[in-house]
Amino acid sequence: MTEFWFNHFNVYQQKGIVRPFAGHYAINVARAHALGKFEDLVLASAKHPAMLYYLDQWLSVSPQPARAGQSSRGLNENYARELMELHTLGVHGGYTQEDVRELARVLTGWTVAPRTQDGFQFVMRLHESGTKTIMGQSIPSSVQFVGMKEGEQAIRFLANHPATAQRISLRLAQYFVADEPPKALVDRMAKTFLSTGGDIYQVMQVILNSADFWDPANKLYRTPYDFACGSLRALNAGQDRAKWLQAFGYAAVAGHGIQNWQTPDGYAFNASTWLTPEALTRRIDFALSIARNVPERSDLYPYLSDSTANAVMKQGPSQRMGFVLGSSELVFK
């Protein structure tokens, strides 16, 4: 779940000074809220320096005339756009360019606070006053909700929107069930999402209790990162530094370095992206190499088809684990 959410609210370590914040972000945003309320997750991400830096929100200030001595920077719509397009509603979620701009105005003043513990602050003098309208909602809705509360209100609104429920449910189902999950399942998830106020735990229950989740026909191809982690696990190599480097080196060369995707859409996780001929041969190279001379694990054999097991057993004992790793049964999950 942590991996899924980090990727959904992706940040890129090589942009600006994001790097020192990325680990903190993974633990305190993606993992801390992984099974909580979706709106809390979006808010935590919105206020984290990794995201504030990554999507330039920290630079976005009110375009109202600058006071003496202030630089006249202006609105930066980068974060507001991705918040709607990727984090919540989705590109066909019913918002317009005008809504993006209004959301950016609402969020002016949200910036980093380098010397505080959580790294976030709201600066009223950078905030654009006045009423904004996002998808028909007036913000602030009343005088008590002026300032930072405007942004919180907007984010809660977006996080609980039906388009968001549908989009998050679809992506979760694609991640945990199948590249093209059954629509009925996604609809049930979205319904639960809306009726529970975006309770991710409850939405996941719908997946786990569905027949679709357990249906062997619903296979997911392991991404290079999945495959690197899965291989280390199958080889019990969690403590082996050389094998770690080899595994994550493989993932990086395959185009799936750890938390290293540049754009806010995050890594793709479907088979059409990763199951390509040349990439498959490099995966085999890696499997045969990392597992060479590792003792075989007969406890895995019951999971293999007869045809796979036959091919594995034709190899010498020192080669067998490599063939197990590279088998259809283990390149899919």
Partner 1 sequence: MSMNALRMLPNRRQAIVQSLQLGAFALPALSALADSAKPEGRMVFVFLRGAYDGLSMLVPHGDAHYAQIRPNIGIPKPDGSPKTSLALDDLFGLHPACADLLPLWQQGLLSAIPCAGSPDTTRSHFDAQYHWETGKPGSSSPSAGWLNVLSGMVGDGIGLHALGVGESSPRILSGPRPVQLVGNGLLATRPGTMAESKTREAVLQLYAGDQKMAKAMLEGANNRMSTAAMLKTPSMPSSSEQQAANNGAGSPQGLALDAKHLGILMRQNRSLQLGFLSSGGWDTHINQGNVTGLLANNFTNLSNALIQLRMAFNEPNDLVIMASEFGRTCAENGTRGTDHGHGNVMWLMGNAVLGGRHHGRWDGLAKDKLNEGRDLPVHHDFRSVFAQALVRCLGFRQDKMAEVFPGYRWDSALDGLFKA
Residues within the interface to partner 1 (CB under 8 A): 12, 14-16, 78, 81-82, 85, 249, 252-255, 257, 262-265, 275-282, 284-285, 288-289, 305-308, 310-312, 314-315, 323, 326-328, 331
Toward partner 1, which CB reaches closer, 15 or 31? 15
Fill in the amino acid letter for 327.
S
Length of the chain: 333
CB of 85 to partner 1, least distance (A): 7
CB of 84 to partner 1, least distance (A): 11
Toward partner 1, which CB reaches closer, 62 or 308? 308
CB of 282 to partner 1, least distance (A): 7
CB of 326 to partner 1, least distance (A): 6
Q: What are phi and psi of 148, to 5 degrees?
A: -60, -35
Toward partner 1, which CB reaches closer, 249 or 295? 249
Is 179:189 a contact under the CB 8 Å cutoff?
no
Q: What are the residues whose beta carbons fall under 8 Å from the beta carbon of 148, sequence distance 6 or more?
A: 109, 110, 122
CB of 121 to partner 1, least distance (A): 23
Toward partner 1, which CB reaches closer, 57 or 160? 57
Q: Which helix (H) or strand (E) holds 231?
A: helix 224-234
Cα–Cα distance, 104 to 234 (Å, whole number): 47
Helices (H), 29-138: 38-46, 49-54, 78-82, 97-107
Q: What are the residues whose beta carbons fall under 8 Å from the beta carbon of 130, sequence distance 6 or more?
A: none
Is 207:177 a contact under the CB 8 Å cutoff?
yes
Toward partner 1, which CB reaches closer, 39 or 82? 82
CB of 117 to partner 1, least distance (A): 27
Toward partner 1, which CB reaches closer, 83 or 204? 83
